[in-house]
Structure 1
Amino acid sequence: MADRPRFFDDLAGAAGGAFSALTGLREELHAVVRARIDEVLSSLDLVRRDELDVARELATRARMAQEDANDRLARIEERLADLEKAVTAPSSHS
């Protein structure tokens, strides 16, 4: 009676095999569901979060560069106006 009956060993082996099969089935099901979700998302023309973050960062940098360019242009136009006034102003030496 010290030895376990072979039946329990066989049962434990079958349970282990079933557990392995279920684990494999779960992983395969997960892969199929993930592929289907990716397929649906791509058909909706959605973007991934990381792509959106990159686009947002590019837009922010572009907006900042545009604001800098506008400021520079305003300063250049101001200087040009001052130079035009200086050139067209009557000379005070006459």
Structure 2
Amino acid sequence: MSTGPNRIMDEFAKLMTDAAGAAQGVRREIETAFNAQAERWLNSMDIVKREEFEAVREMAIKARDENEALLARIEALEARLASKTK
């Protein structure tokens, strides 16, 4: 076992190592608590996930395209009907 100044330095190094380990443990606990609270907060806001948003967006684009095609078809049929009645 060391004596004198070396022993003091060894004890100090051990104390610093223990303190660093404790600080890392506290940091992990704080991060976990923060992440859990943030997740609860976001869930309470009723926010949709990106994947769900993109899926609905694609459905809306497809529906709009189909509506435009149907509108063009109705206009063409109305024009044919109008030309036959004249």
The TM-score range, normalised by the shorter chain, is 0.5 to 0.7
**Does residue 47 of structure 1 match 2:58?**
no
Q: Specify which structure has the bigger relative contact order, considering alpha-carbon pairs within 8 angstroms and separated by 6 or more residues.
A: 2
Counterparts of 2:25 and 2:58, CA distance in 1: 41
Normalized against structure 1, the TM-score is what?
0.63
| Percent of matched pairs sharing the same residue | 31
Question: Which protein has the bigger helix share?
Answer: 2
Deviations 1:33-79 (A, max 9, x none): 1111211221222224x146413343233222221222123223333
- Which residue is equivalent to 2:66? 65
Instruction: Kindly tell me the number of residue pairs found equivalent between the two proteins.
Output: 81
2:31 maps to 1:17: no
Q: Give 1:39's aligned amino acid.
A: R
The root-mean-square deviation of aligned C-alpha atoms, in Å, is 2.7
Query: Which has the higher Rg, Structure 1 or Structure 2?
Result: 1
Distance 2:23 2:38 in 1: 22
**Structure 2 alignment gaps of length 5 or more:** none
Q: TM-score, normalised by structure 2?
A: 0.67
Matched residue, 1:37: 38
